[in-house]
Structure 1
Amino acid sequence: MAVSISAVVLLGIVVFVLIRGGSVRLAHALACGLFGFFLASTGAAPLITDAISTLTGWISSI
């Protein structure tokens, strides 16, 4: 649970910096956020969660 909260905070900071820097427009960021929100309710969500958990476990073991 702590990893997902940290990832959300990290990704939120990245999106904020990209919007402020002009690299990403607000509408694009909202579209990506909504895509992620709706993707989380599909059957792909457990696969994505497992992949991220595996990746973070691999990174923490280095």
Structure 2
Amino acid sequence: MAISLSVVLMLAVILVVMIRSGSIKPGPAIVAALFGFFLASTGMAPSIRKFLDSVAQSIDKINF
């Protein structure tokens, strides 16, 4: 839960920065957010979550 919440907050900050800098317009940003929202309710959601969890675990194992 903590990882998904922090990822959501990080992506929200990136989205706001991109909108404010003019890199992305508000319309496409809303479409992208809605796409993610509806994608989360499909059957692909568990596979995507497993993939992101494995990426997070791999990053966690890297020693800097």
Normalised to the residue count of structure 2, the TM-score between the two structures is 0.95
Q: After TM superposition, where is structure 1 displaced by more than 3 Å over at least 4 residues in a row?
A: none
Q: Name structure 1 gaps, 5 residues minimum.
A: none
Residue aligning to 1:22? 22
Encode CA deviations 1:2-36: one digit per residue, 9 max, x unaligned: 00000001000000000000000001110000000
Q: Name structure 2 gaps, 5 residues minimum.
A: none
Aligned residues: 62
Percent identical among aligned pairs is 44
Tell me which of the two structures has the higher relative contact order, counting C-alpha pairs closer than 8 angstroms and 6 or more residues apart.
1
Encode CA deviations 1:24-52: one digit per residue, 9 max, x unaligned: 00011100000001001111000000000
Which residues in structure 2 correspond to 1:1-62 (within 5 Å)? Answer: 1-62=1-62
